[in-house]
Chains A and B, each alone.
Chain A
Amino acid sequence: MRSEFTRLRAGIALLLALALSLGVVACGSSSDNNSTSGSSEEVATGSSLVTNPKNAKISLTIGSKNFPEQEILGEIYAQALKAVGYKVKTDLNLGSETVAHEAVKNGTISGYPEYASTALTSFFGFEPEEVPANANAAYELAHDEFETEGLVAFPPTPFASANAVGTTKKFAEEEGLKTVSDLKGKSESMTLYGSPECRQRIDCLAGLEKYYGLKFKAFHPVDIGLRYTVLEKGQADLSILFTTDPQLAAEKDKFVILEDDKHVFPAGNVIFVTKLSTFEKAGHDYESTILQVQTGLTLEVMQELDARVELEKQTPKEAAAAYLKSAGYVR
């Protein structure tokens, strides 16, 4: 336990140094055409959060969708905002993106983290191939779409998350699979397992069928929590995984993901979505705090945090607190 903390801390320190040196460039590019430019240039990464007594009058409710990564992000933002003096409540585990989107629009929550790709495909009718691969380009698109709904989206996290076709390393080697295209002509004898909604989603099974022209022996819907179990049990030949899955980092010699060479699974960096009126009322610290604490969230760090919750059974609250502390945001 102790050594992992040290490793994580060392990693974060390194990343923060990197983020600091890139910070000016990143802020410059994201401030081109959005109204938040004034505040983002003053973001100081790596330094600890300072309580601002003015914030005590403002109540915020931070939401999240209903899976561990989202709950961890929700906790990180909520605890950081608390540290700068806001009155913060959480409403995590909101369900699907439609529910969370509705909740932020009608004011039940102040804001929640959303994947830019999900926002574009689920809320604004973009096809998966229309989602820009570049994180900032996807963010700008989503930002402008949210603006028409009276919402504000903050610049994206360093890490991106996407669905992926995964399998065991053994099976991939036996069948000679490196990319999803390699499945062509072989998939007819393979079973694919994924979440129940995957079956009909264009950024999941429907897209694999449409864009890769793949047919599978069978698609079996299973709970997201079983996505590795079905591979381990030898039941599934292929299973829909997430690129941020801790298992991919922890068990590199066991599981692999196939490269999505036709970009059916758009990668999404996380953007924090909030209501314009809340944004204007909450003051400068609202955005700057969120941007500051998410600078350390690279793919490796997010995998590590997911691992603590999904594999080591910490609560999202504990994992978030440990992250904020070891990165030096909170003492």
Chain B
Amino acid sequence: MIAPLASPPLASIQGAIEFIFTPQTSNVTGGKTVGGINQVLELLVNQLELTVLALALSMIVALPIGLYLGHRGVGELFATVIGNAGRAIPELALIAFMAALIGVGVANLTIALAVLGIPPLLTNSFVGIHQVDRSAVDAARGMGMTEFEILRKVEIPLAIPTLFAGIRSATIAIVATATIAPIAGVLTLGDFIINQNVYGDDGVLAGAILVALLALTLEFGLATLQRRLTSKGLKLSPA
């Protein structure tokens, strides 16, 4: 058995960077150029928009339930089972299912992507609140705080690291998966990756680089926000 000849690399980092900043020719567009910074920004904005919408929806659904159950200390099984089962839902199948149910477009994708964000948010908000030192909660209650005040002034501040870990997981899962949105009606950076015929191999690589950069940027941004919100007493070292 003779090994196949090594093929030349299909894409190069240099080519991908050129693709990001300067429009390139394409074999199949009849002369129109593709890529370039304007198209990159347009797709980037779409991906961010979709991410923010889906994240907002998943927070609206998951946080109140997680915080309430954590505060009451009930429903641990519910929170963890939903959390774990939710992670097993195949996203592609879900998008296709939603497409048949409500059609393609922003609404479909927002709901389908929010489903990805709910499990980490639900589990982490429950665990974060539930693990707060009960003596701190008792002290707050002894001082005459209402249940809502206890949640807002004591439990949530103490749960910030765990809560944010959930928000960060949810964000990364949503923004990364929003890459496949072009198969359901919304053009995101995944357009570069899915349509190798149009954008060429450099375009595919450029898309992958952009999505990775976007995810990392969001991760660092949220980490910074988390440090600012974390109470001084919980920090290991001064920020």
A223 touches B96 (CB 8 A): yes
14 additional contacts (CB under 8 A) given A201-B29, A233-B100: A96-B196, A98-B197, A105-B7, A107-B4, A121-B28, A122-B28, A197-B28, A200-B32, A202-B28, A221-B187, A222-B99, A225-B96, A226-B184, A229-B99
Q: Is the CB of A226 within 8 A of B191?
A: no
Distance in Å: Cβ of A60 to nearest Cβ of chain B: 13
CB-nearest residue of chain A to B7: A106
- Asked if residues A102 and B96 are in contact (CB atoms below 8 Å), the reply is no
List 22 A-B pairs, Cβ < 8 Å.
A97-B197, A98-B197, A108-B7, A122-B27, A122-B28, A122-B197, A127-B30, A128-B30, A197-B28, A197-B195, A200-B28, A200-B29, A201-B28, A201-B29, A201-B198, A202-B31, A203-B28, A221-B183, A221-B185, A221-B187, A222-B104, A225-B96
A227 to chain B, nearest CB (A): 11
What residue in chain B is nearest A226 (Cβ atoms)?
B99
B134 to chain A, nearest CB (A): 51
Task: Assess whether B239 is interfacial by the CB under 8 Å rule.
Answer: no
Can you list, as one digit per residue, whether each of B15-52 has a CB less than 8 Å from chain A (1) or not (0)?
A: 00000000000111111101000000000000000000
Q: Is B66 an interface residue (CB 8 A)?
A: no
Question: What A residues does B195 contact at CB under 8 A?
Answer: 196-197, 200
B182 touches A99 (CB 8 A): no
CB distance A106 to B4 under 8 Å? yes
**CB under 8 Å from chain B, chain A span 80-114:** 95-99, 102, 105-108
Which residues in chain A, 227-265, are within 8 Å of chain B measured between CB atoms? 229-230, 233, 235
Is A202 within 8 A of B185, CB to CB? no
* Among all A-B residue pairs, the 7 with the closest Cβ atoms: A202-B30, A223-B183, A106-B7, A197-B195, A196-B182, A235-B103, A107-B4
What is the interface of chain B, defined by CB distance below 8 A to chain A? Answer: 1, 4-7, 10, 26-32, 34, 96, 99-100, 103-105, 182-187, 191, 194-198, 200-201
CB-CB under 8 A for A196 and B187, given A122-B28, A223-B96 = yes
Are A210 and B7 touching (Cβ within 8 A)?
A: no
Task: List A residues 97-148 near B (Cβ within 8 Å).
Answer: 97-99, 102, 105-108, 121-123, 125, 127-128
Q: How far is the CA of A99 from the CA of B96 in the complex (A)?
A: 26
The answer to the question of A220 belonging to the interface, with a C-beta cut-off of 8 Å to chain B, is: yes
Interface check A46, CB cutoff 8 A: no
B2 to A: closest C-beta gap in Å:
9
Chain A 188-228 per-residue mask, 1 if CB under 8 angstroms from chain B, else 0: 00000100110011110011001000000000111101100
How far is A117 from B198 in the complex, measured between Cα atoms in Å?
Answer: 16
> A233 and B103: CB pair below 8 A?
yes
For B28, the chain A residues whose CB sits under 8 A away are 121-122, 197, 200-203
In Å, the complex CA distance between A177 and B182 comes to 29
Given contacts A95-B196, A102-B10, A200-B34, whether A220 and B185 have CB atoms under 8 Å apart is yes
- A203: chain B residues at CB < 8 Å are 28
Least CB distance, B222 to chain A, in whole angstroms: 30
Contacts of A225 in B (CB 8 A): 96
With most chain A CB atoms within 10 A of its CB, the pick from B28, B96, B194, B196 is B28
Distance in angstroms between the alpha carbons of A45 and B233 in the assembled complex: 85
B197 contacts A197, CB within 8 Å?
Answer: yes
